[in-house]
A and B are shown apart, each in its own frame.
Chain A
Amino acid sequence: MTASHGAYGNADATTTATSNAASSNGAASTDESLNARVRTSKSPRPNKWGIIIAAVVAIAIIVGAVAIFNGRNAQQSANKADTVTIGLKLAPPSLDIRRQSGSAIEQVLIGNVYEGLVSRDSDNAVQPGLAKSWDISTDGTTYTFHLNRNMTFSNGDALDADDVAWSINQLKEKQYYNANQVESLSKAEALDANTVRITLSSPDSNLLWYLTGRPGLVFDKDATYNAKTQAVGSGPYTVESFDSASKMVLKANPKYWGTAHKPATQHVVIDFITDDNAAVNALKSGDVDVLSPVNATLAKSLDANTYHVSASDGSDKFVLAFNCANKKLADKRVRQAIRYGINHKEIIASRGGVDAALGGPIPSVDPGYEDLTGLYPYDVAKAKQLMREAGYSISKPLKLTLTYANTYGTELGDQLKSQLAAISIDLNINYVEFSTWLQDVHANGDYELSLVDHAESHDFYKWTTPEYYYHYDNKDVQALYAKALAANDEKESDEYLKQAAKTVSEDAPADWLFGYRVTVAYNKGVKGFPDKLSQTVLPLWQISKAE
């Protein structure tokens, strides 16, 4: 940089006034060629400040015009009654429901674009779907499904028993997503155009429920399309456009076969809004009619006269898993101490006080639930005692590492660190990307403590699969779960599940920090939006909006 901060140029430079006088005199030099270069200044220059003020005014006018223009537009788009706009937090990475993981795909596509043999209602119960009824053999290994008649896909192709059998056999053959949930299923065959028989290797009381999810979906055998960007299903809606960065537009399927689920609204736009504040702003400005989920704390700012806000139980379990294959955690006293040492109330309160305490592996919306929060109440004295017995003290603390994905925020880790410090555990937080978590913890099982939200319903089987990253291997639990699957009677099955869940919880292979309860908020003009389980079952056909 130059050192001269004083006057640039020559100290005796002509001033503006004299130069004007000079140029108006015409000849400043006797040299012709130089004279030619001297330009006479035109009319006196407008004041510098005049220009600045004019610029500011011009900008203000443009800004104002844009603001008015865009405010009017926002109102226009939100007032259309044939379009309902729903704001979701998570976007499906693609439309490939057979290969791509993520609950957002199921939430958006199942029941709306793709339909299954059976469906699920907002109480998590099995309902008829493409099959209007079914019979189960007394030994529980043969299911006969009776299909609805005259069903079609959105491309006009007929949907019959061949498509159903093909879809299910493909699932097994290609090991599509969640094929492991229906391991007991050995084959599907079309008996006639409207009847499908599914044969199981062993009875499975969960089969019907799993068929309401991805394993039961029926695809068009004869259609070829790019499943990542297009969807050909039999549901009441078709995908008009999809961009996982911004939105999905669904249009009522004109070829929809059913009469019960006729769409109430022609267009449903799903906006993916990651930022919680932006989502609430979008609801307030009318850009979206519904938010699911909405941040519980921010939802308190919504006017109760205009918006309906409600929270409900779901299947999300925030699981703090203890790697049972790890030497330090193989000691049951340590695992129990951690459970006693965690103050769940404090954690839930800091998240807005909406979430539910959860004492075991089964959430309240699933069969086999019972309140197990009494097993390990918050008791620091007892936790310290157990840690002493295991040979640790404040001066000789147990060093543990918690690995968890950065999608959940740093607060949870910090809270656990400070709570466990009181019971002589020195917790080191390893805050990683989700894909790193998947690799290190989930795939390689290389961890001590891990924290993740297991959102799936009916996923108790993870505690009976020792290969799963929990590395929990308890023969009693496995036997109880097998009995629950084999039981014909629902009550009997529930009873076995309860016993199994209690055994797992007592063994303390994990702590269930809380059950995330989803808060939804919508404009009171919107009708038919489900309050419950909208993160997994989102029947769009019934949603409408008053003009």
Chain B
Amino acid sequence: MRFVAKRLLLFIAALVGLSILVFLALRVLPGDVAAVMAGTNATAARIAALRTQMGLDRPLPVQYVDWLGGLLHGDLGISAISGRSVVSQVGARAAVTFPLIVLSLAIALLIGLPLGCAAVITRNRRWRGLFHVLAIVGGAIPALWSGLLLILLFSHGSGLLGLFPSQGFPNDGWKDCGRAMASLVLPALATGITAGAGIMRYTRAALGDAAQSQAVSMAMACGMTRRQALLRVGLRLSMPQLVSVIGLTFAQMITGVMVVENLFALPGLGSMLITDVGNRDLIAVQSELFLLAAFFLLLGLAVDMAHHALDPRLNTASDDVQEVL
């Protein structure tokens, strides 16, 4: 329990620090939303009037406290440009980005876990070498490049096999599930392959360590074959490590898919952030970044908890330490 409480306190402290960091970092950018709104025909007086209307001429601490007060009430604010609430804006974009991340992760796991296990299980040197090469080559392919390759191979119009759309997301969103899914396949593959190679390497290393452990030897002594022992005992032993890696991969993908979103012209969180920063819609950007960062932290928290749940040794260890103290 103490662990959970401590971890939660840390989480809240990190959030507050984060809000200050995000707020200040964005104020360094030149230009402001009033100038963008007023455009190239504007007079200086018009820009000044807009600044006053939007409260941009107030001192920074006042603006910060105002924003933080809103956050505490669960009010993330309203975009100065589009007039929509940040929550609805993020929600609409997350409906593209999150399915994309989940799909990418699923592909990564489908590639990484079996290949990683196979690399440990196999005793054939050639296979082992092949898996090694796969892991290195797969991990070295930038998602941008594999994305282009996938477009050349599988996209409607310009690809060899016109299977999937290469650009954009259906305008009715998820109403037409098939089309929406189809437009996510290529981008998910592009990120999934790279991430999958990473997961494969980690699986191989973790399972390789487990293979050396006494637990696996014991299982084999009890009559399991090597493969059974590795998959049933070894994999379970390496689970905590793998969960951490999967959590990290997920977190990396939040930013990682932005490049791919751009390549496939998907209206996801990445393009939203780029547009909003471009428009200097700082109220929206700071809330969006804050949400994303909070999600990062939450993910870290969840992984830590899962770690503890999966590996009882950690609990007893920390309890022991506490008892000594």
Contact = CB atoms under 8 A, between A and B. Distances in A.
A38 B233 CA distance: 13
B38 interface: yes
B35 A435 contact: yes
Interface of A: 1-2, 4-5, 7-10, 13-16, 19, 22-23, 28-29, 34, 37-38, 63-64, 66-67, 69-70, 73-74, 93-94, 96, 99-102, 175, 177-181, 226-229, 243-247, 269, 271, 273-275, 277-278, 281-282, 284-285, 433-436, 438-440, 442-443, 452, 454, 456, 459, 467
Contacts of B92: 243, 245
Nearest to A72: B178
Contacts, number: 195
Contacts of A245: 92-93, 267, 271-272, 275
A281 B157 contact: yes
Contacts of B278: 433-435
Contact of A442 (B40, B176, B280): B40
Contact of B81 (A64, A93, A277, A282): A93
Interface in B125-169: 128, 132, 156-158, 162-169
A190 to B, nearest CB: 27
B178 A66 contact: yes
Nearest to A279: B167
Given A10-B220, A245-B271, A69 B178 contact: yes
A281 B267 contact: no
Q: Which 6 pairs of residues, A with B, have the shortest CB-CB distance?
A: A101-B39, A228-B83, A278-B167, A8-B211, A439-B31, A435-B31
A29 B40 contact: no
A9 B220 contact: yes
30 contacts: A2-B209, A4-B212, A5-B132, A8-B211, A9-B230, A14-B220, A28-B223, A34-B222, A34-B223, A38-B222, A63-B163, A64-B163, A66-B178, A67-B164, A73-B176, A74-B179, A100-B37, A227-B83, A229-B83, A244-B82, A245-B271, A273-B167, A275-B265, A278-B265, A281-B166, A285-B156, A436-B30, A439-B30, A459-B41, A467-B43
A500 B218 CA distance: 95
A64 B178 CA distance: 12
B245 interface: no
Interface stretch (B46-54, B246-254, B287-295): B46-54
B140 to A, nearest CB: 16
Contacts of B42: 101, 180, 442
B208 A4 contact: yes
Interface in B221-246: 222-230
Nearest to B229: A9
Contacts of B32: 435, 439
Interface string B170-181: 010000101101
Most chain-A CB neighbours within 10 Å: which of B50, B220, B230? B220
Interface of B: 29-32, 35-47, 49-50, 81-84, 92-93, 120, 123, 128, 132, 156-158, 162-169, 171, 176, 178-179, 181-182, 185, 205, 207-209, 211-212, 216-217, 220, 222-230, 265, 267, 271-272, 275, 278-280
B31 A436 contact: yes
B223 A7 contact: no
Contacts of B37: 99-101
A152 B128 CA distance: 77
A178 B38 CA distance: 9
A278 B31 CA distance: 31
B171 A246 contact: yes
Given A64-B163, A435-B32, 10 more contacts: A7-B123, A9-B217, A19-B228, A28-B222, A101-B39, A180-B43, A229-B83, A247-B171, A277-B167, A434-B36
B46 A73 contact: no
Contacts of A70: 165, 178-179, 182
B280 A435 contact: yes
A100 B49 CA distance: 13
Nearest to A55: B110
B219 to A, nearest CB: 9
